[in-house]
Amino acid sequence: MTSLLDEKAISARRLRGRSRREVTVSTKITQEEFALISGTSEMAGRAIGEWMREVLLKEARSGSDSLRAEQLMTEIIGLQMFLTHVLSPLACGRQMTTEEYRELMRNVKANKQRAAREILAQSTTEEKEEQHG
């Protein structure tokens, strides 16, 4: 029989310097989703509950990551637009004039964000179609 002191020591070891977890969150998933989650958590060497908790918290804390991703995508698309329009004339043996270059830069700055949003929207649409298809 363990004493109250032993139980408190065991409980303190379990907490390991963290706050006591008192709230339960649950959801229903399909058998296929469970198999995926189970396999992934097993490959990570974590219990399913711990793995899911880590994933949920990571996602919740990374809310600003989607903004950064959009900004990065905008710059990548800008570079792609720039390189496409600069390399094409060069590949054909033609040099750009200073005015053509300036116009290209204005065009890229004016259109890169719209182009990036379109690509991100298209990607999101394709992902949703794959999930429902």
Q: What is the pTM of this model?
A: 0.47
Tell me whether residue 107 is in a domain: yes
Distance CA 131, CA 62 (A): 23
Q: Which of 52, 30, 28, 31 is nearest to 40 (CA)?
A: 52
Chain position carrying tokens 């004039």 = 97
Are 101 and 57 within one domain? no
Q: How many structural domains compose the chain?
A: 2
Nearest to 85 by CA among 67, 66, 61, 106: 106
Q: Is residue 50 part of a domain?
A: yes
**Mean pLDDT value of segment 21-38:** 91
**Last residue of a domain, which of 5, 39, 61?**
61
Is-contact 50 97, C-beta < 8 A?
no
Containing structural domain, residue 93: 65-125
Q: Are residues 57 and 86 in the same domain?
A: no
In tens, the pLDDT along 63-122 reads 666 667 788 999 999 999 999 999 998 999 999 999 999 999 999 999 999 999 898 888
6: in domain: no
Q: Hunting for tokens 């399913």 — which residue is that?
A: 48
Pseudo-torsion of CA 63, 64, 67, 73, nearest 10°? -90
Question: Is 37 a domain residue?
Answer: yes
CA distances from 97 to 58, 108, 115 (A): 49, 17, 25
Residue 4: the pLDDT is: 57
Give residue for tokens 């990548």: 76
12: confidence class by pLDDT, cuts 50, 70, 90 = low
